[in-house]
Structure formats: structure tokens, C-alpha cells
Structure 1
Amino acid sequence: MKKKLLISAYAISPTRGSEYAAAWNTVTHLAAEHELWVLYGMSDNHMGDTQTLKGYIEDNPMRHVHFVEVRAGWLAKAINLLNKAGFGWFFYFAYYLWQKRALRAAQEIVKTVDIDVVHQLGPIGFREPGFLAGLGKPLVWGPIGGMKIMDSRFIALLPFKARMKFTIKNFINRYQLGHSHRIKSAFKNADVLIAATRLGQQTIKQYFDRDSFYLPEQGIGGNVLPCVNRYNNIEQQDVHLVWSGSLIERKNLKMCLDALSAVAKKNWELHVLGDGPLRKTLEHYAAQKGLADKVTFHGHLPRREALRVMADAHLHIITSIGEDNPAVIFEAMGNGIPTLTIDHCGMGDVICCKCGVKVPVDSYENMLQRMSSVLNILLTNTKILVDMHQSTLLCANEHKWDKRLKKLNNIYDEAIATHNQRSMYMSGNHLTMV
């Protein structure tokens, strides 16, 4: 049944990836069946940068979507200057203030629109749950992420500064999950919770004794079609490997380079998509490992160009030590490209034996040995990649948006039913007390 949905999607864009794309894809697909009012505050690099979305909406009006820009106040803008300067944690203070304004904008909307469900959509981090529970409407929160406590074995591999950063982040995560009254209230007050990962489901149950739906924030849009030509005569050409992500410690490209340097077979080439502060260091490291002529650093490419490079690959590799659900695993899957990953985070939930290979979390040496062994096998027996291409396409269909939309519709119905039951319970208690 068609519903009127109020969605808070702070960061949303039709041209960017990651959480911007997750919010955009959610909104555009929901609009096929519902009418939406979407609160947003950013479509470009920083809070208040909304020119891309506004330009797109002007050229491509969407009949069933009402975009409502929520402008940050002067204090939020001032605080966000520190975020722009590289002090990332200050973003949460600015974002808290933005959420206050989002509530006021939402209150104006519900004065004239009979909203059926409110959805606190994104960003997915649990630290800032917003204030939309104050509307008194059925409330869905999620997908919720960012709750992972990073494994100490990964932290031990990092340089001192990065070790300190992630050790402090682990401490803050534990403290906020266990002691933040506001976060605890948000988990309690939402009618339905959505966890971005299986571990997130367990964490929500452990800390807040609430059940939640599991639904990654990302999905696959468009058609999933076989690219047989890419795999034709694969045994007579170099196998194209692709790695995509920011060149920072958390994304852990160094592990991918270490694994490839230990591979005996040389019938491969690696394409690195992304940029970041470690680019020069990693380019030098690749040269030290004797891989300079095997690895191409493409830097930050426009989204369409990056997807073209991805579409030419035979195998996707992800070595990140901390994620929820990176969009790249769905982009690879949508092209029928299997993934080699560490078996943790969202990657461990999404990737199965049909669409990839998962290396168990272990000591760095053991993970590296297993990863190199897998690569040797795949490069020696390239027909395995051809077979995995076909089975990856089958897995991709399970993550397409038509199936996600059915799940969201069920979640919205559940939120309405739960909200009504809660209202009846509270009303019943009140009558008993009288």
C-alpha cells in the first residue's frame, strides 16, 4: 500500500558513491511505490554543500519526492570548520545541531502532511540517532552501523598514530554503547531497528536487548547481466585484479600488496582505484616489493570511469580492517566479479562461497599466507574465475533493489503495527492508573 514517508538522509547525491549513493538509491527506489519527504543537508564535500543535488533536482524533477534542504545554523557551520580542517570528530557536534534543525523542519511537514512512517536513514553511524522520535509517528531507524570493536590483531599492525586512533575509537564505541543515555533512549524508542551487519544485530541485542532486521545499507541497482566476453580466453591473458578504496590505514592496501608479492604466478595486473594521504607511500612500497610494473594507481576517478575499470576486472580484492558494507562489493557483484576478502564486517555477511573467497580472521602472517595461496590457485586455474563469475551473478540477484524494496515495505508495516501496539499499551496503562 502506498505510504507517505518522511526520511532523514543527511548526505545524499545522485553522482557520488558510499553513503551518498546508499541514501540516493533508497530514496529513488522507494519513490516508485510511495510519496517521500526527504530531509537533507549535504550532497557534496561538507555540511551545507548541496549544489549538486539542487542542480540535479532542477533538471530532473521527481514527481513523488519532496526534497527539503535543512540548512545548518551559524554555530554548526562554525564547528564544522574544524571538521574541514581535518579534526573529524568535531563533525558529530555540528551534526547534532543539524539534527535539531531537521526536527523543526519535520515538525512543519507533519502539520500539513499525514506521515505514515518516519525513517531515520543516514548516515548509518549509531552515534547520532537524531530527534525524529519526538514526532510521535511510527519510527524506523537504520541500517545502523559503526558499532564494531576493531580486532586487536588488526590494530597491532598499524603505525603508532593509527594504533592510538583506533584504540581510542574502540573505547568510545564501548562507552557510548554502554553508557550514553541518549543512544540508549534512541534504541528503545524506535519502533523498528535495522542493523547493517550481522555483528550489528548481535551488538544491538547485547547492549539494548532489542531484536532488529538485518539489511545492508547498499544494494544493486539496474540489471545484472553476464559479461562472458571478459572471461573469454582468460587463460591466455593477464587476470585483471581490482582494489578500490581510500588510501588510508583502515583500508589496508598494504596487505593486498604483500599477498601479491608472495604469489608465484605473474599472470596478473592490479588496478587500484582511490586516492588518499598514503598514496605516495604505497606507490613506493609497491616498487620496493617489485610490483611497480604490475600495479596501476588510478587515483580518484569520476564515478563512471571508476565503474568502467571495475567492470573490466576478473577478481575484486578487499583487505579493509574495518567497514560496515562498502559499496564496492555490490558494484563488483553487480558486474559478476567475485571478491576475495577477509571474513569479517559486512563483507563477511554478503560474500559467500558462490561469489567469492573469505579468508578467516587470524594472525597477519596466517591471513597473508591463505590469501596468497588463494590467489595462486585462482591464477593457476583461471577456469575457477569463469565459474565464479556465473555464480556471482546469481548471488547478485539476491541483493537487487526489487527484493530490498519488499523488505523495506515489510519493515514499514511492522513499524506501524508496533507503534500502534505501543500506543494502545500506553493508553491502557493510563486508563488503569485513572
Structure 2
Amino acid sequence: MKKRILISAYAISPVRGSEYGAAWNTVMHLSTQHELWVLYGMSDDHMGDTQTMLEYIKNNRIKNVHFVEVRANKLAMAINMLNKIGLGWFFYFAYYLWQKAALAAAFEICKTVDIDVVHQLGPIGFREPGFLWQLNKPMVWGPIGGMNIIDKRFLAVKPLFTRLKFGVKNIINHLQLNYSARIKTAFEQVDVLMAATTAGQQTIWEKFGIESCYLSEQGIIGNIIFDESKFDTICKQVQMVWSGSLIERKNLALCLEALSGITQKNWVLHVMGSGPLSKKLQQKAKDLNLVNNIKWHGHLSRTEALSTMSFAHLHIITSMAEDNPAVIFEALTFSIPTLTIDHCGMGDVICPKCGIKIKSADYNSMVTDMRKELIVVLNNPSMLMNLAQTTTLCAEEHSWEKRLYKLNNMYNKAIQVHGQRFNSSLIYPTLTV
């Protein structure tokens, strides 16, 4: 049944990927079945940067969607200046104030609209849950992520600054999950919780004693594509792709070291992305004698990145910590199997039918295991075509048709749980289709 849904999606954009794109795709697909009021605060680089959304809304009418820009106050914008110059943790202080403004905007909407369900959609991080539960409406929160503790074995070979940075983050996660009264209250007040990973589900149960549903924040975009013609030349050259920011967390060095011990030369790795480690990683590739087999594309537009991705036979991801990176689902969309470490959201999404998983272990063991898997693939490239065919089937599990079915069940459950929780006989009205 068609519902009136109030959604908080701080970062949203029709032209960006990652969390911006995840929120946009969720809103667009939900709008085919429900009427939405969407609170947002950013569509470009920083808090208050909403030019892209304002221009899009001006030139495009979106049926069943009412976008409501929530402007942060002057104090929030002043605090966020520290985030802009690289002091990232100050963002959360500014974001806290934005959430206060979002609650005020939500109360105004509820004065004139009989909202059926509230959905705290994004960003997915657990540490800033917002205040929309104070509306006393049936509420869903999620997908919730960011709760993972980075394996210390991954950090052993990283620079001191990186080890300190992630060590501090691990400590902060531990403190907030165990001792933050506001976070605990939010988890307890929400009617339905949605975890972005199965590890997140386990953490929510262990820390708060509450059951949650599992649903990744990303899904398949558009139609699933299987291009059989790209395998015509696979025996001559296997096209591999790695995509992400060139930062320590994305861990491209692991992929380079795994490739360095391979004697076969029937491959090329397309590296899409830029970042502070660009020069260092390119020099590392040179030192490992990989220069002739790697193409550095730098930062690409979303359209260019998807075009490059579409020609690949194998996608590789080496991140130390993620929830569900968009690139996993982009690979699934093009029926491209993924080689990944078996952890985080990648471990949930990728199975033997759509990829190759290596055991999470110490750094040197993972280099060795990844190298072994790559050697098997390069000795028998045709196996990637067979894997691509079954990847197509796995991709169907993440289609928006199935995701909408799950979301609708969660909304219905939230209404039911909310009524039971407050011993209310109130029946929340629905719109006719």
C-alpha cells in the first residue's frame, strides 16, 4: 500500500556515487510506490553545498517526491570549516547541529502531512543517529554501518600515522558503542533497525540486545548486462579493474604486491581513482616491474568509470574496511566477478558464484593467497566467462525489485511494532495507489 514516508538523507545527488548515489537510488525507487518527503543538506562537497540538487529540482519534476533542503545554522557552518581544512572529526559536531535542524523541519512537515513512516536513511554511520525518533512515528533506521573494528593484522605493514589513525578510530568506535547514552537511546527507540552488513547485525545484538534486518545500502543500478563478446580475446589478455581512492584504507598496495610475483603477462590492471598516494603507488608499481601491465586512469567521471568497468573480466577490491562500496554492485551490474578479502560487506555480497574470496589473515598471507588465485585465473582465463554467467544470477538478488519488497516489509513491520510498543490502537492511514 502506498505510504507517506519522511526520509532523512543528508547527502544525496543524482550524479554522484557512494552514499550520495545510494540515497538517490533509494529515493527514486521508493517514489514508484510511495509519496516521499526528503530532508537533505548536501549534494556536493561540503555541508550546505546543494547546488547540484537545486539545479536538478529546478529542471526536473520528480513524481511523488518533495525535496526539503535543511540549512545548517551559522555555528554548524563555522564548525564545518575545520572539516573543510582536513580536521574530519569536527564534521560530526556540525552534523549533530544539522540533525537538530532536520528535526525542526520534520516537525513542520508533520503539522500538515500525516506521515506514516519515518526513515533515517543516511549517511549510514552509527555514530550520529539523529533525532527523528522524537517525532513519535513508526521509524526505520538504516542501513547502519561504520561499526567495524579494523583488523590489527592489516595495519602491521602500514605507516605509523595510519596505524595511529585507525587505532584511534577503533577506540572511538568501542567507546561510542559501549558508553554513548544518546546512541543507545536511538537504537532502543527506533522500531526497525537495518544493518548494512551481517557483522553489523551481530554488533547491534551484542551491544544493544536488539535484532536487526540485513540489507546493504547499495543495489543494482539499471539492467544487469552480460557482454559475451568481451571474452573473445580473454586468452590473449585478461582485463582487470581496481577502483577507489588512492588512500591507505583502500589498500591498493596489497593488489600490487600480489601481482608482482606472477610470471604470466597476459593481463592488464586498470586503476581508476586518485588520491594522496598516487605518486607513491605508481613508484611502487615501477619498483615491482608492473609498469607495462598497469593503466592509471586517475579520477574519472561516473560515466567514464562505468564505461571502463564494463570491459573488465575481473574486479579486484582490497579495502581494509568498508561497508558496501558501490563498485561491488557496479561490477555485479556488468556481470563481473570480484576478487576480494572475505570480510566487511564484500564478504556478505560476494559468494563462490560471483567471485573469489581470500581468507582474512596477516598481510603477507593475504598477498600469497591473492597471488595464488590470480595465477589460477591467468592460467585458465576461460573460467572467468563461466563465473561471469553465474555472477549475472547473483546480481538478481540485489535488484531493486527485491530491495523494495524488503523495504516495504520493514515499513509495515515498523508500523506494527510502533503500535504494539505504545499500546496504541491507532491505524496509520495509507494512500490509495
Give TM-score, length-normalised by structure 1: 0.97
TM-superposed CA distance for 1:426, in Å, is 11
Whole-angstrom distance in 2 between the partners of 1:171 and 1:72 = 29
Query: Partner of 1:424: helix, strand, or coil?
Result: coil
Whole-angstrom distance in 1 between the partners of 2:33 and 2:14 = 19
Q: Which residue of 2 aligns with 1:282?
A: 281
TM-superposed CA distance for 1:238, in Å, is 1.1
Q: Which residue of 2 aligns with 1:337?
A: 336
User: Does the 8 Å CA contact 2:226/2:334 hold for their aligned counterparts?
Assistant: yes
Q: How does 1:306-385 map to 2 (within 5 A)?
A: 306-385=305-384
Q: Which moved more, 1:104-113 or 1:417-426?
A: 417-426
Equivalent AA in structure 2 for residue 31 of structure 1: S
Equivalent AA in structure 2 for residue 67 of structure 1: F
Q: How does 1:140-289 map to 2 (within 5 A)?
A: 140-235=140-235, 237-289=236-288
Query: Partner of 2:374: helix, strand, or coil?
Result: helix
1:58-113 Cα offsets, whole Å, 9 max, x none, are 11110200000000110000000000000000000000000000000000000000
TM-superposed CA distance for 1:425, in Å, is 7.3
Q: Which moved more, 1:149-158 or 1:209-218?
A: 149-158
User: Does the 8 Å CA contact 2:419/2:425 hold for their aligned counterparts?
Assistant: no
TM-superposed CA distance for 1:218, in Å, is 0.2
Whole-angstrom distance in 2 between the partners of 1:147 and 1:155 = 17
1:362-402 Cα offsets, whole Å, 9 max, x none, are 12111111100100110110111010010000000110111
Whole-angstrom distance in 2 between the partners of 1:263 and 1:365 = 15
Query: Partner of 1:293: helix, strand, or coil?
Result: helix
Equivalent AA in structure 2 for residue 389 of structure 1: A
Equivalent AA in structure 2 for residue 393 of structure 1: T
User: Does the 8 Å CA contact 2:187/2:208 hold for their aligned counterparts?
Assistant: yes
Structure 1 segments unaligned to the other structure (5+ residues): 428-434
Whole-angstrom distance in 1 between the partners of 2:93 and 2:295 = 39
Q: Which residue of 1 aligns with 2:431?
A: none
Whole-angstrom distance in 2 between the partners of 1:93 and 1:164 = 22
Whole-angstrom distance in 2 between the partners of 1:97 and 1:138 = 23
Equivalent AA in structure 1 for residue 6 of structure 2: L
Q: Which residue of 2 aligns with 1:400?
A: 399
Whole-angstrom distance in 1 between the partners of 2:386 and 2:116 = 46
Query: Partner of 1:284: helix, strand, or coil?
Result: helix
Equivalent AA in structure 2 for residue 140 of structure 1: V
Whole-angstrom distance in 1 between the partners of 2:150 and 2:97 = 29
TM-superposed CA distance for 1:265, in Å, is 1.1
Query: Partner of 2:89: helix, strand, or coil?
Result: helix
TM-superposed CA distance for 1:415, in Å, is 0.3
Whole-angstrom distance in 2 between the partners of 1:227 and 1:173 = 43
TM-superposed CA distance for 1:225, in Å, is 2.3
Q: How does 1:85-124 map to 2 (within 5 A)?
A: 85-124=85-124
Whole-angstrom distance in 1 between the partners of 2:161 and 2:128 = 26
Over the aligned positions, Cα root-mean-square deviation in angstroms equals 1.1
TM-superposed CA distance for 1:233, in Å, is 3.4
Q: Which residue of 1 aligns with 2:291?
A: 292
TM-superposed CA distance for 1:226, in Å, is 1.3
1:319–1:423 distance in 2 versus 1, CA, 3 Å: same
Query: Partner of 2:32: helix, strand, or coil?
Result: coil
Q: Which residue of 1 aligns with 2:421?
A: 422
Query: Partner of 1:88: helix, strand, or coil?
Result: coil
Whole-angstrom distance in 1 between the partners of 2:10 and 2:325 = 18
Q: Which residue of 2 aligns with 1:10?
A: 10
Q: Which residue of 2 aligns with 1:40?
A: 40
Whole-angstrom distance in 2 between the partners of 1:34 and 1:261 = 52
User: Does the 8 Å CA contact 2:241/2:316 hold for their aligned counterparts?
Assistant: yes
Tell me which stretches of 4 or more aligned residues in structure 1 moved more than 2 Å. Answer: none
TM-superposed CA distance for 1:157, in Å, is 2.0
Q: Which residue of 2 aligns with 1:432?
A: none
1:258-305 Cα offsets, whole Å, 9 max, x none, are 001111211000111111100011011111111111111111111100
Equivalent AA in structure 1 for residue 354 of structure 2: C
Query: Partner of 2:291: helix, strand, or coil?
Result: coil
Equivalent AA in structure 2 for residue 243 of structure 1: W
TM-superposed CA distance for 1:419, in Å, is 0.2
1:109–1:425 distance in 2 versus 1, CA, 3 Å: closer
1:313-368 Cα offsets, whole Å, 9 max, x none, are 10000000000000000000110000000000000000000000000011211111
User: Does the 8 Å CA contact 2:226/2:392 hold for their aligned counterparts?
Assistant: yes
User: Does the 8 Å CA contact 2:22/2:218 hold for their aligned counterparts?
Assistant: yes
Equivalent AA in structure 2 for residue 251 of structure 1: K
1:400–1:426 distance in 2 versus 1, CA, 3 Å: closer
Equivalent AA in structure 1 for residue 151 of structure 2: D
1:218-273 Cα offsets, whole Å, 9 max, x none, are 000211121101112321x2111100011000000000000011112110001111
Higher RCO by CA contacts (8 Å cutoff, separation 6 or greater): 2
Q: How does 1:17-28 map to 2 (within 5 A)?
A: 17-28=17-28
Q: Which residue of 2 aligns with 1:430?
A: none
Query: Partner of 2:140: helix, strand, or coil?
Result: strand
TM-superposed CA distance for 1:172, in Å, is 0.4
Whole-angstrom distance in 1 between the partners of 2:37 and 2:150 = 36
Equivalent AA in structure 2 for residue 145 of structure 1: G
Equivalent AA in structure 2 for residue 282 of structure 1: L
TM-superposed CA distance for 1:136, in Å, is 0.6
Whole-angstrom distance in 2 between the partners of 1:61 and 1:202 = 41
Q: Which residue of 2 aligns with 1:55?
A: 55
